């Protein structure tokens, strides 16, 4: 019994070593090749160039480059779909080899996907983080492997080449002020926060900012719970809160996909108009709620409208710039606008992304 | 090199091979169960190696090894529980809780890393112990119990996430040991992988070599038997869950150090991946079957599927779907295999072959040597009422009789009229017997081998196995059907091993199969070594060293012939026909006092069985489709004894016309003017007086001479 197992194991190990030994050199070769064509630091364009030359040189610097987007949110989320729609379009335009995958809200899977992506050595990674520290090591690993990292929406402790997303503190502060004002108008004080994961940037800053605003406005924060970006969970939390706190006037949370669950709970309890649901992001889920009155206000921070294009633009910049990956470390903030009954029908307020 | 006797069957070389026989023998191998998972693993690796760009790279191998290690540790724990007849659905939740706890201890509590490691594994063991206490001592059902603890632990994981994740996310701590655990390399391999190998070796040794491991297997195989054997069921069952928890905890710790993130979803659905892994590996859900190596093969398969699909940028749900399909197929196969494997092997184990036989000689001629007579009728009965199946009989210098008994005994009679005296209990049915000059008995014991017995009854095994033939699927090292023997002039014992495929009590199955499965063995008393001198011989039965000591005569019960194997002289090592196409089934052969040989026919050939021998398909259908007692079998109840000359000429036959007292004669021995008869299924020995002219020592008559 023992011998044949040893033989199998040994053969497997030998095979693996042999195969990996053969192919690993190919990657090194590719990296060297990339370094040769990469303009060093200059941005790749000469000081004076004709428009035709600009097109030829810039596109030449990007053609065939590999970019992968990995998001924690799944294809069920309008946000993910909108990003994918815009990035696919944008990268196709400039000849970049682009793929998008998602971890469907499983943080372990996200880590595996990012690690796997790094192993493949693409030129740039666009990540949607699940945890402030979760991908930190991997982001650093990617950068030291010569991969640009752009982080969307939810930042990381480890600074990427670029963060693109809202200023969560200001955005949620604005939304919380609106909620407090609405509560005051109803002469109520009880408010609650439903965050996403416990430890992602958006949720951390949402809790911090909203808590501060509510305190300043004299509101009574009765609960602050993570809804795991899961509408079912938000629904459960809301139903419990509505029973425990009859005086509840506002529920604030940081994603409309999740807060739609809270809005449904409010509607089912027959408390439309008495309990307001406030959420960031403004996909058709939020705007449908606004139309029905189940959602009091949402925030358009460009998530589904402009952020995908922003990601393409920044990636283009990085790929052409010749900047060493990990050297630029910038944060780019998107504009935010509160959407409610008064403006939700205006163009650009809400977005919808087709199912894929 | 043993001499090959296959040619005697008259068949061509391709008849040496049988797909059915190979298949049956392969199915009988324990390692065959591991072949399917191994093939699946190779297919998965090959498939992704070809289709997933970047799968066969060192970086990917390292990432794969990390995921494999964490899954593998949990799978090892699950395997231990499953072998013990339980199931642990809470492993994923334990994994998640320990992952969170380890991060709290490391980042928030600032514990030294060794303490974090110890505490994390201890916490895993504690959580597993809760399962253990409930299942082993409170006697709750494993499935429902661990399902409940799964939910409970998942709640704990969510609580940890809610309460501590925000603070953990904003705390950083760098520690070399921690980094070594999560991202380190040992001898070029990831730390996780090295740890997995170490743990797997330990688990392997514990499961296969320790009392604890055997007891787990015993309990998983049959709780009732284990309890009756006096095992402490609760303690052992408890320990399996505790160990599974500790291993899940260790995996959670590794993940914590690698990803440094605590999330409510950590370990979510892991029990599904782990169950799939172990079931793929062939660890039975029914308990009692599984090994550490199998668990790892399954875990590697699952990890490779996960990694390959990730590389191909496939949507994540596809992974779950693929696992679900594989789990379903393998769980069903596990059930079918476990239930029907034995039956399937039994149905196809016997792979009937074919011999080319000539038509049986006509024995009904008036006045010929085969004419029926009553010379054996009325033989004096010896040991009637005492004996059961004395296959052979032998006499020592003092004229004492020895014979075996199917109950595994050896009897002695001081004289034909003396009472039976039990010499020894051997344990197996003694067949052929021989006495050396010192009065020691050597005998062939069915299913056991060659044994020696002193006159005082001291039994010692002389030969129980030979060197295995490396290219045979079936292990042919054991001597399964030692049948008859004789001592050569140099003291070496030549004995027949009638079948390498069937055991002693199944000798007739070998006759029905009709393949050359037997061999002639030689035991050297000086070295204690046993070697094969003749192989692929069809049912070698009686063995007799010739009068001049230069050759050995071998009876083939299946080919109805006697061959001479030369020991000395110019033909040494050669096999030569002695008597071919006999009309009966030759059993034992012994020297006669007149220079010829006595041969016992255990039965006479019948035209219908001769026909059956030429029709392997018919016999295959028969053994597959008919119950055992309706089989057509060779005739083993019309016996006679014949005298054959040194030249191989049959000169006379002795019959019992009544066929009552000696229904089957398998042996005869001449001594002092008497012929003693033994029979495999008889209830006595027989003794007849030989006519004076057949006893040259007394009568001084001439040797019977016949033309060659």
Q: What are the pLDDT digits (tens) for B29-72? A: 877 777 888 999 999 999 999 999 889 999 899 999 999 999 99
DSSP letters spanning B387-433: -S----EEE-TT--EEEEETTTEEEEESSTTSPEEEEEE-SS-EEEE
pLDDT score, position A45:
83
Is-contact A221 A191, C-beta < 8 A? Answer: yes
ipTM of this predicted complex? 0.79
CB atoms within 10 A of CB A2: 9
Provide the chain A residues 58-97 that lie in CB contact (below 8 A) with chain B. Answer: 68, 74-75
The better pLDDT of the pair B187, B122 is held by: B122
A344 to chain B, any CB pair closer than 8 A? The answer is no
A120, B316: Cβ pair inside 8 Å?
no
A112 to chain B, any CB pair closer than 8 A? The answer is yes
CA A18 from centre of chain? 39
pLDDT score, position A7:
55
Token representation of residue B29: 């191998």
pLDDT score, position A5:
54
Measuring CA to CA, which residue among B293, B287, B37, B328 is closest to residue B143? Answer: B287
B161, A226: Cβ pair inside 8 Å?
yes
Measuring CA to CA, which residue among B232, B283, B236, B310 is closest to residue B66? Answer: B310
pLDDT score, position A21:
40
Q: Any idea what DSSP says for residue B105?
A: I
| Max Cα distance, chain A (Å) | 80
- What domains does chain A contain, in order, with CATH numbers? 46-165+305-335 (3.40.50.2300), 168-300 (3.40.50.2300)
Residue B708 has pLDDT above 50, yes or no: no
Is-contact B653 B641, C-beta < 8 A? Answer: yes
Is-contact B668 B678, C-beta < 8 A? Answer: yes
Residue in B with minimal Cα distance to A145: B59
Residue B430 has pLDDT above 90, yes or no: yes
pLDDT score, position B707:
30
pLDDT tens for each residue of B228-241: 999 999 999 999 99
Measuring CA to CA, which residue among B593, B684, B687 is closest to residue B391? Answer: B684
Q: Which residues make Cβ contacts (< 8 Å) with residue A288, sequence separation at least 6? A: none
Residue in B with minimal Cα distance to A106: B265
A116 to chain B, any CB pair closer than 8 A? The answer is yes
Residue in A with minimal Cα distance to B297: A9
Task: Starting at the earlier edge strand, list the strands of the sheet with A124-128.
Answer: A97-102, A66-71, A124-128, A148-152, A162-165, A330-333
In chain B, which segments carry CATH 1.10.3470? 64-346
Burial of B619 (0-12, 13-18, 19+ CB in 10 A): buried
Cα–Cα distance between A103 and B535 in angstroms, integer?
64
Which segments of chain A have a pLDDT < 50?
1-2, 13-14, 17-40
Residue in B with minimal Cα distance to A202: B166
* Residue pointed to by tokens 């994740």: B165
Cα–Cα distance between B665 and B602 in angstroms, integer?
5
Residues of chain B neighbouring A21 (CB-CB closer than 8 A): 58
Provide the chain A residues 141-170 that lie in CB contact (below 8 A) with chain B. Answer: 157
A101 to chain B, any CB pair closer than 8 A? The answer is yes
pLDDT score, position B300:
96
Cα–Cα distance between A132 and A224 in angstroms, integer?
19
Q: Which residues make Cβ contacts (< 8 Å) with residue B560, sequence separation at least 6? A: B357, B360, B580, B581, B582, B583, B584, B585, B586, B605
Measuring CA to CA, which residue among B102, B128, B127, B130 is closest to residue B116? Answer: B102
pLDDT score, position A265:
95
Residue in A with minimal Cα distance to B310: A113
Compute the Cα dihedral for A173, A175, A178, A180 and give only its sign: negative
Residue B651 has pLDDT above 50, yes or no: yes
Residues of chain A neighbouring B161 (CB-CB closer than 8 A): 197-199, 226
Residue in B with minimal Cα distance to A205: B166
What's the mean pLDDT when you consider all of chain B? 91
CA B622 from centre of chain? 25
Token representation of residue B239: 């320990």
Residue to mutate among B37, B256, B263, with most A CBs inside 10 A, is: B263
Q: Which helix (H) or strand (E) holds A225?
A: strand A220-226
B263, A99: Cβ pair inside 8 Å?
no
Residue B359 has pLDDT above 70, yes or no: yes
Question: pLDDT band for position B696 (50/70/90)?
Answer: low
Cα–Cα distance between A285 and A288 in angstroms, integer?
5
* Residue pointed to by tokens 């509840």: A248
Residue B187, sorted as left (phi over 0), alpha (psi -120 to 50) or beta, turns out to be left
**Residue-wise over B371-407: b if at least 16 C-beta within 10 A, else e?**
eeeebbbebbbbbeebbbbbbbbbbbeeebbbbbbbe
Cβ-nearest to B61 among A8, A16, A102? A16
* Residue pointed to by tokens 């949990």: B74
For residue A41, what are the CA distances in angstroms to A58, A325, A352? 14, 11, 39
Question: pLDDT band for position B455 (50/70/90)?
Answer: confident
Q: Any idea what DSSP says for residue B56?
A: T
Residue to mutate among A3, A26, A88, A108, with most B CBs inside 10 A, is: A108
CB atoms within 10 A of CB B109: 12
The verdict on domain B380-697 having CATH code 3.50.50.60 is no
* Residue pointed to by tokens 């996780």: B192
B260, A136: Cβ pair inside 8 Å?
yes
| CATH number given to B64-346 | 1.10.3470
In chain B, which segments carry CATH 2.120.10.30? 380-697
Residues of chain A neighbouring B311 (CB-CB closer than 8 A): 116, 120
Cross-strand bridge partners of residue B496: B520
Is-contact B508 B633, C-beta < 8 A? Answer: yes
- Going by their DSSP bridges, the two strands B430-435 and B441-445 should be labelled as antiparallel
Measuring CA to CA, which residue among A239, A291, A234 is closest to residue A260? Answer: A234
Backbone angles phi, psi at B707, to 5 degrees: -65, 145
Min CA distance, B70 vs chain A (Å)?
12
């Amino acid at each position: 019994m023992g011998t044949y197992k040893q033989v199998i194991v040994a053969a497997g190990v030998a095979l693996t070593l042999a195969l990996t030994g053969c192919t690993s050199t190919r990657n090194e070769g590719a990296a060297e090749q990339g370094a040769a064509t990469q303009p060093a630091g200059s941005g790749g364009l000469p000081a004076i160039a004709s428009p035709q030359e600009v097109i030829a040189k810039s596109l030449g610097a990007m053609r065939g480059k590999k970019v992968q987007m990995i998001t924690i949110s799944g294809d069920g989320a309008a946000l993910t779909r909108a990003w994918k729609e815009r990035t696919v379009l944008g990268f196709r335009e400039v000849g970049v080899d682009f793929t998008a995958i998602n971890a469907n809200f499983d943080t372990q899977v996200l880590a595996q996907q990012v690690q796997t992506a790094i192993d493949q050595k693409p030129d740039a990674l666009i990540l949607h983080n699940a945890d402030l520290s979760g991908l930190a090591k991997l982001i650093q690993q990617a950068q030291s492997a010569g991969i640009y990292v752009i982080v969307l929406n939810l930042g990381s402790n480890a600074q990427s080449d670029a963060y693109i997303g809202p200023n969560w503190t200001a955005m949620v502060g604005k939304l919380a002020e609106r909620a407090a004002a609405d509560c005051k108008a109803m002469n109520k004080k009880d408010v609650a926060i439903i965050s996403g994961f416990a430890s992602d940037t958006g949720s951390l800053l949402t809790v911090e900012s909203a808590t501060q605003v509510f305190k300043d406005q004299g509101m009574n924060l009765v609960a602050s719970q993570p809804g795991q970006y899961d509408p079912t969970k938000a629904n459960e939390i809301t139903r419990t809160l509505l029973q425990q706190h009859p005086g509840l006037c506002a529920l604030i949370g940081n994603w409309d996909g999740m807060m739609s669950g809270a809005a449904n709970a409010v509607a089912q309890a027959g408390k439309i108009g008495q309990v307001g649901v406030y959420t960031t992001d403004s996909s058709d889920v939020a705007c449908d709620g606004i139309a029905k009155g189940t959602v009091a206000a949402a925030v358009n921070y460009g998530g589904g409208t402009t952020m995908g294009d922003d990601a393409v633009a920044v990636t283009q910049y990085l790929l052409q710039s010749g900047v060493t990956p990990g050297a630029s470390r910038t944060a780019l903030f998107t504009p935010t606008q509160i959407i409610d009954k008064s403006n939700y029908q205006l163009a650009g307020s809400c977005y919808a992304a087709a199912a894929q | 090199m043993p001499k090959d006797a296959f040619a005697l069957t008259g068949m061509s070389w391709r008849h040496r091979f049988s797909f059915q026989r190979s298949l049956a023998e392969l199915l009988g191998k324990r390692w065959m169960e591991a072949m399917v998972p191994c093939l699946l693993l190779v297919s998965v690796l090959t498939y992704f190696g070809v289709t997933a760009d970047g799968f066969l790279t060192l970086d990917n191998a390292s990432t794969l090894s990390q995921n494999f290690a964490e899954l593998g540790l949990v799978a090892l724990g699950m395997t231990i529980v499953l072998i013990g007849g339980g199931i642990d659905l809470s492993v994923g939740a334990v994994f998640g809780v320990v992952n969170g706890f380890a991060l709290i201890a490391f980042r928030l509590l600032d514990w030294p890393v060794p303490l974090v490691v110890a505490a994390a594994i201890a916490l895993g063991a504690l959580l597993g112990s809760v399962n253990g206490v409930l299942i082993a001592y409170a006697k709750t059902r494993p499935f429902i119990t661990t399902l409940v603890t799964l939910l409970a632990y998942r709640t704990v994981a969510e609580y940890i996430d809610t309460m501590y994740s925000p603070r953990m996310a904003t705390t950083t701590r760098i520690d070399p040991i921690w980094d070594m655990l999560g991202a380190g390399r040992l001898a070029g391999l990831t730390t996780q992988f090295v740890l997995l190998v170490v743990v797997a070796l330990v688990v392997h040794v514990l499961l296969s070599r320790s009392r604890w491991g055997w007891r787990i297997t015993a309990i998983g195989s049959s709780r009732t038997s284990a309890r009756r054997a006096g095992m402490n069921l609760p303690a052992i069952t408890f320990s399996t869950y505790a160990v599974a928890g500790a291993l899940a905890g260790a995996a959670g710790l590794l993940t914590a150090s690698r990803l440094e993130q605590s999330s409510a979803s950590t370990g979510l659905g892991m029990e599904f991946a782990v169950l799939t892994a172990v079931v793929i590996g062939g660890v039975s859900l029914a308990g009692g079957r599984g090994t550490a190596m199998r668990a790892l093969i399954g875990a590697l398969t699952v990890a490779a599927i996960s990694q390959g699909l990730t590389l191909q940028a496939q949507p994540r749900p596809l992974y779950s779907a693929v696992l679900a399909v594989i789990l379903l197929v393998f769980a069903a196969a596990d059930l079918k295999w476990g239930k029907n494997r034995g039956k399937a092997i039994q149905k196809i184990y016997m792979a009937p072959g074919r011999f080319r036989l000539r038509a049986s000689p006509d024995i009904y001629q008036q006045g010929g040597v085969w004419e029926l007579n009553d010379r054996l009728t009325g033989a004096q009965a010896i040991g009637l009422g005492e004996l059961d199946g004395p296959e052979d009989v032998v006499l020592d210098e003092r004229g004492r009789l020895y014979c075996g008994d199917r109950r595994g005994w050896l009897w002695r009679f001081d004289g034909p009229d003396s009472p039976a005296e039990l010499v020894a209990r051997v344990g197996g049915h003694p067949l052929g017997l021989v006495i050396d000059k010192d009065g020691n008995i050597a005998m062939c014991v069915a299913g056991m081998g060659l044994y020696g017995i002193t006159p005082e009854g001291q039994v010692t095994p002389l030969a129980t196995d030979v060197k295995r033939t490396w290219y045979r699927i079936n292990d042919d090292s054991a001597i399964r059907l030692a049948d008859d023997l004789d001592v050569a002039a140099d003291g070496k014992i030549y004995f027949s091993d009638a079948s390498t495929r069937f055991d002693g009590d199944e000798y007739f199955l070998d006759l029905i199969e009709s393949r050359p499965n037997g061999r002639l063995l030689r035991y050297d008393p000086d070295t204690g070594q046993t070697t094969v001198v003749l192989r692929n011989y069809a049912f070698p039965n009686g063995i007799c060293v010739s009068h001049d000591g230069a050759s050995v005569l071998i009876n083939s019960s299946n080919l109805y012939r006697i061959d001479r194997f030369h020991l000395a002289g110019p033909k040494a090592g050669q096999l030569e026909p002695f008597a071919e196409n006999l009309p009966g089934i030759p059993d034992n052969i012994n020297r006669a006092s007149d220079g010829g040989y006595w041969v016992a026919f255990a039965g006479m050939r019948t035209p219908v069985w001769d026909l059956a021998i030429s029709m392997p398909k018919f016999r295959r259908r028969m053994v597959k489709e008919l119950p055992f007692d309706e089989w057509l079998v060779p005739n083993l109840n019309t016996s006679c004894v014949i005298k054959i000359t040194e030249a191989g000429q049959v000169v006379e036959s002795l019959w019992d016309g009544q066929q009552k007292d000696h229904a089957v004669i398998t042996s005869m021995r001449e001594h002092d003017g008497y012929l003693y008869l033994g029979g495999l299924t008889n209830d006595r020995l027989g003794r007849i007086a030989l006519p004076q002219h057949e006893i040259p020592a007394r009568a001084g008559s001439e040797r019977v001479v016949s033309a060659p």
